[in-house]
């Protein structure tokens, strides 16, 4: 497999299998030519709608943008910062700014999707303030309305009218705010009866302690097998696996946003030593804690 590599400032890399552009059926593609309006605070750099009838692969390293992938038909597989996700029609996948993400589909599979690549100095702030950084995939209540909104933004880019810049930025901000609401709603929809939600709430209170499944089930008022079935049904994983994900996400936040030493972070999250924490972090994220911290501060302009 030959790879095409594109580099974007300051240190982002996009890699595509060499047949990515040739085999895509391009329904619509738009990008903005020239300076971004409003000094680049919040803007859509690129929009596309494509279909593809064969397998595909691409990889983002230190992603330059917040990329929204909205699936209309087919199935997509992503691996972002160590977490794997299967995306179904009507779901939206977020490739977060500064993250490492690999996309793939099985050979011979097909898909139809929309993409927005959002840039600007407000992106890291909005990801945190709207809690979008807490998830990679959102199940949408009304996907058709989002198909329309993506296409409206794409049409705005295609027209290349600076006087419509404010309207496009407004649509992007409203879209992100609505996705934040959808994220809260989709969390509830994927947890029928609230059982995993109650267990996850308890886990979050004690991230430094490995959960005892019998104790966790007892606090939730159910049996062990009921708790295990609920996690498998709703989240496709075990409670221990979900706890590992929570702990890693919290580790990423503390490494990226705090001034705590890595030894202190390891202690807070129950890792047996700073060295073991660094090993686990590097394996999951692809960077050492010190490299990840430098990247985050570079992305935030510090």
Q: What is the mean pLDDT of residues 54-83?
A: 90
Selected residue with higher pLDDT from 286 and 14 = 14
* Mean pLDDT, residues 196-225 taken together: 87
- What is the average pLDDT across 58-77? 93
Task: Give the total residue count for the chain.
Answer: 302
- Rounded mean pLDDT, 224-248: 84
Average pLDDT over residues 169-196: 77
CA atoms within 13 A on the CB side of 48: 14
What are the percentages of helix, strand and coil residues in the chain, rounded to 5? 50, 25, 25
| 64 touches 58 (CB < 8 A) | no
Q: What are the structural domain ranges in the chain?
A: 3-189, 192-299
**Banded pLDDT at 48 (limits 50, 70, 90):** very high
Per-residue model confidence (pLDDT) at position 186: 64
Q: Tell me the pLDDT band of 153, cut-offs 50, 70 and 90.
A: very high
The pLDDT value recorded for residue 299 is 54
Phi-psi category of residue 136: left, alpha or beta, with phi > 0 → left and psi -120 to 50 → alpha: alpha
More confident residue, 193 or 231: 231
Through-space distance between the first and last CA atoms of the chain, rounded to whole angstroms: 38
Q: What integer best gives the mean pLDDT of the chain?
A: 86
For residue 183, pLDDT beyond 90? no
- The model's pLDDT over 275-292, given as tens digits with 9 standing for 90+, comes to 999 998 888 777 899 988
Question: Which comes out higher in pLDDT, residue 58 or 84?
Answer: 58
φ, ψ of residue 258 to 5 degrees: the values are -115, 170
Q: How far is CA 236 from the centre of its chain?
A: 18
Reply yes or no on whether the pLDDT at 184 is more than 90. no
Percent of the chain with pLDDT over 70: 95
Q: What is the largest CA-CA distance in the chain?
A: 61
Average pLDDT over residues 37-52: 90
Q: Label the pairing between strands 76-80 and 3-8.
A: unpaired
In the structure, what pLDDT confidence band is assigned to residue 42 with cuts at 50, 70 and 90? very high
Does domain 3-189 fall into CATH 2.60.120.10? yes
Q: Is the pLDDT of residue 187 over 70?
A: no
- Output DSSP code: residue 41: S
Q: How far apart are CA 45 and CA 32, in angstroms?
A: 6
Split at pLDDT 50, 70, 90, the class of 92 is: very high
Q: 10 Å Cβ neighbour count for 142?
A: 10
Fold agreement between 3-189 and 192-299: no
pLDDT at 246 over 90: no
Please check the confidence at residue 192 and state whether its pLDDT lies above 60: no
Mean pLDDT to the nearest integer, 67-88: 88
CATH classification (class only), 192-299 = mainly alpha
What confidence tier does 45 reach under pLDDT thresholds 50, 70, 90? very high
| Cβ contact 68:94 at 8 Å | yes
């Amino acid at each position: 497999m030959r790879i095409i590599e594109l580099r974007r400032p300051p240190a982002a890399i996009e890699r595509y299998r060499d047949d990515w552009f040739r085999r895509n059926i391009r329904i619509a593609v738009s990008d903005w030519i020239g300076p971004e309006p409003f000094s680049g605070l919040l803007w859509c750099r690129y929009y596309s709608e494509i279909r593809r009838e064969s397998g595909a692969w691409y990889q983002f390293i230190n992603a330059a943008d917040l990329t929204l992938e909205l699936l209309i038909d087919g199935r997509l597989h992503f691996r972002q910062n160590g977490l794997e996700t299967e995306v179904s029609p009507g779901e939206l996948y977020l490739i977060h700014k500064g993250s490492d993400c690999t996309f793939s589909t099985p050979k011979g599979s097909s898909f139809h999707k929309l993409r927005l690549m959002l840039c600007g100095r407000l992106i890291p702030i909005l990801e945190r303030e709207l809690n979008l950084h807490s998830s990679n995939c959102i199940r949408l209540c009304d996907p058709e309305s989002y198909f329309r909104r993506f296409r409206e933004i794409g049409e705005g880019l295609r027209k290349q009218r600076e006087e419509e810049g404010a309207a496009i930025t407004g649509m992007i901000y409203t879209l992100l705010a609505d996705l934040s609401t959808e994220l809260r709603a989709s969390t509830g929809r994927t947890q029928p009866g609230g059982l995993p939600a109650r267990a996850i709430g308890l886990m979050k209170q004690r991230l430094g302690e490995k959960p005892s499944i019998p104790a966790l089930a007892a606090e939730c008022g159910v049996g062990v097998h009921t708790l295990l079935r609920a996690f498998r049904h709703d989240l496709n994983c075990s409670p221990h696996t979900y706890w590992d994900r929570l702990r890693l996400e919290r580790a990423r936040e503390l490494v990226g946003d705090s001034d705590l030493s890595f030894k202190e972070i390891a202690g807070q999250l129950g890792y047996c030593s700073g060295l073991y924490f660094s090993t686990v972090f590097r394996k999951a994220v692809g960077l050492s804690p010190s490299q990840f911290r430098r990247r985050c501060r570079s992305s935030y302009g510090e």
